[in-house]
Amino acid sequence: MTRLEAADLYRFYHVGDDETRALRGVSLNLRPGELTVLLGRSGSGKSTLLACLAGLDDPDGGQVNVGGERLSRQPEVRRARLRARHFGVMLQSGNLIPHLNVLDNARLTGALLGQRDTGRALELLDEVDLAHRKHAYPAQLSGGETARAALVAALAHGPALLLADEPTAEVDAVTEDRVAGVIDAFVRQGGSALIATHSPRLAARADRVLRLGDGRWQDA
C-alpha cells in the first residue's frame, strides 16, 4: 500500500517586501483506507499544503515522500512521473484540459501511464451520473458537472492517493453526496484521501479531521 509522508513542511511566499508564511512546520502521514478531511479558514494554507504534497509545488523546507521515494526537491519530470503513478489530484482551479472532452480528460493520465483499458473511466462517469456528458467539453459543463468530471479524471487511472481541493465547493447537496460516495468507495477499496473542504457534510464522513490555522496544525 502506498504511503504519503510529509515531514516539517515550510512554504513562504514573497511578494515585494511582504512575506506570507503559508506553511510553518506541517507534518502529515496519510494511511491507506482512510478519509482525512482538511479544514481551515480561507488563507490558512490548505491549497499550499495540497500542492506541496502532490509535488506541484516544492516546499522551502521539509520533505515529502511517496511510496518510499522522495517527491520534494526533484526535477519536474520526476515529480510529474511520481504524481501520475501514485496520485489523483483534483484542484480548485480545475484539473480538466479545456480542449479535451470529459471522457478524454478521464482517460488522459491512464494513457500517459500506458494503460490501454479505459473501461474504468466510463464506469466512474456512470457512477457520478455523467456518462451522458462524456462528449462535452469542460466549458460546456455546469459547476456540479465540472466537479464530478474532475473527480473522475483524478481517479480513472487507479491511483492509491487522492488529493482534492474543495471538491464540492459549487455543488448542491445531492451532487455533494454523489461526489462523497465516489470518494467513500475509493477509500473503502484501500485508497487514501485528503480532502480540503469548508463543507461540514463532507467533514462528517471523515475518519480523521485535521485543521490548519496560519500554516500550522490546530486542535481539530
Ligand X SMILES: Nc1ncnc2c1ncn2[C@@H]1O[C@H](COP(=O)(O)OP(=O)(O)OP(=O)(O)O)[C@@H](O)[C@H]1O
Interface residues with ligand X (CB under 6 A) are 13, 15, 20, 22, 40, 42-48
Instruction: Strands of the chain (E only): list them.
Output: 4-15, 18-30, 34-39, 61-66, 69-70, 87-90, 161-165, 192-196, 208-213, 216-218
CA neighbours closer than 13 Å in the CB half-sphere of residue 1: 12
- Nearest distance, CB of residue 171 and ligand X, angstroms: 16
- C-alpha cell belonging to residue 17: 517586501
Question: What is the C-alpha separation between 46 and 39, in angstroms, rounded?
Answer: 8
- Closer CB to ligand X, residue 27 or residue 140? 27
- Closer CB to ligand X, residue 51 or residue 71? 51
- Closer CB to ligand X, residue 11 or residue 134? 11
- Nearest distance, CB of residue 132 and ligand X, angstroms: 31
- C-alpha cell belonging to residue 46: 490548505
- Nearest distance, CB of residue 4 and ligand X, angstroms: 18
- Nearest distance, CB of residue 20 and ligand X, angstroms: 4
- Closer CB to ligand X, residue 42 or residue 68? 42
What region, left, alpha or beta, does residue 187 occupy, with left being phi > 0 and alpha being psi -120 to 50 degrees?
alpha
- Nearest distance, CB of residue 88 and ligand X, angstroms: 19
Q: What is the DSSP letter of 67?
A: T
Question: What is the C-alpha separation between 131 and 136, in angstroms, rounded?
Answer: 10
- Closer CB to ligand X, residue 20 or residue 140? 20
